[in-house]
Amino acid sequence: MTRAFLIVMDSVGIGGAPDAAAFGDEGANTLLHIAQSCAEGRADEGRSGPLKMPVLDGLGLGEAAKLACGEPVPGLSARPQGRWGAATEVSRGKDTPSGHWELAGLPVPFDWTYFPDETPAFPPDLVAKVCELAGTDGILGNCHSSGLRILEKLAGEHLRTGWPICYTSVDSVFQIAAHEEHFGLERLLALCEALAPWLHERCVGRVIARPFLGGATDFRRTPNRRDYAIAPPGPTLLDCASGAGRVTHAIGKIGDIFSMRGVSHLHKGKGDADLADHLIRLADEAEEGSLTFANFVEFDTLYGHTRDVAGYARALEWFDTRAGAFLAKLRPGDLAIFTADHGNDPSFRGTEHTRERVPVLCAGVGTGAFGHCGFVDVAACVAAHLGVDNPGPGRSFL
């Protein structure tokens, strides 16, 4: 038997989505614009010079990005030693569940419910439901916002009133922020868990608990975030692997995204550094025939949504070194695929995800380009490598 590792670099898009304009994202290109900023000396906080990603560029990152958008990426010009291509999404969303489900072989078969970008953003029956479950007379927020900005604005009022801070984004998501001590972490998690089925029935993709700590003006998120995601409406790669008796390892948010379906073991941590340690350890320890599915979220949460170009560049360069340590531990016959679920161009307007193609970089299966593919083809490739059923309509590119 052989092993497979599917690694999602959350939001590391490479531009070129043919339907970007329909999402208001024409011209967005996460990797290209970060690399251009680095090359021009505009991303030197905590780093300097051109973007340096020799490991992933060596697998084909620069070539995949050029294929996706037609432009060379400054600093990424290696001759690929892996298999590489660019994937295009068909699901009508640019969010975490859409991208991950489709990478796992299941395009989203329905339209998500989104909340309008106005204040108030939520209908009265939803506000009443939150108040009923929380035992409060009202909520704060009731608008579109990034998480860090709404904490700056409303965390103090939350401490005074005890009301939960509720907000959303262009994604199909309802987020609740509350202080772990003043409101209570368990109370927040219970609130989100109870509310989630009510919103899932209305095709809202996720309810996210966003706990924080601090006082006065020193508010900070904690690692105790919890996603309550709608269950996939059909079989995924995880289902097929576990159904065939294979061990599956979920690193990071994967367990939440797939409602723990098809997951044998869950590996979480305080941040991406902990998750990278899990990935490298599993390169040593994962069972023959197993599937390891990982999500590295901090590109998106810490640097994409906050529009921090230099921070995103630092995260990419850090991850590239950890990818090298991981690849050095793979066994003959292993397959490792590095990809992404959407874009989040830190140089683009707004604070939200961007509709983009994503790289597909394969180690352990030779060299050469396979060109354009679909997200579902990633699942087909992994399924074929493991010798399990293909969950969706994709075709293996290997």
Q: Answer whether 0.85 is exceeded by the pTM.
A: yes
Is 341 annotated among the ligand-binding residues? yes
Rounded to whole angstroms, the Cα distance separating 168 from 206 reads 10
Rounded to whole angstroms, the Cα distance separating 122 from 283 reads 45
Is 272 annotated among the ligand-binding residues? no
Rounded to whole angstroms, the Cα distance separating 259 from 110 reads 18
How confident is the model over 239-264, as a mean pLDDT? 96
**Tens of pLDDT along 145-184?**
988 889 999 999 999 999 999 999 888 999 999 999 999 9
Q: Which residue has the tokens 């999402």?
A: 23
Instruction: Assign residue 70 a region (left: φ > 0; alpha: ψ between -120 and 50; beta: otherwise).
Output: left
Give the tokens for residue 40: 């021009």
Rounded to whole angstroms, the Cα distance separating 177 from 145 reads 12
Instruction: Assign residue 371 a region (left: φ > 0; alpha: ψ between -120 and 50; beta: otherwise).
Output: left
Domains and CATH numbers, the chain: 4-110+233-386 (3.40.720.10), 124-229 (3.30.70.1250)
**Tens of pLDDT along 273-310?**
999 999 999 999 999 999 999 999 999 999 999 999 99
Q: Cα–Cα distances in Å, from 243 out to 248, 254, 348?
A: 10, 18, 42
CA 28, 30, 34, 39 dihedral sign is negative
Give the pLDDT of residue 395.
97
Q: What angle do CA 283, 96, 343 make, to 5 degrees?
A: 90
Give the pLDDT of residue 359.
98
Q: How many helices (H) and strands (E) does the chain have?
A: 13, 14
Is 265 annotated among the ligand-binding residues? no
Is 267 annotated among the ligand-binding residues? no
Q: Three-state SS for 355?
A: coil
- Report yes or no: 390 and 380 within 8 Å, Cβ to Cβ: yes
**Tens of pLDDT along 369-391?**
999 999 999 999 999 999 999 99
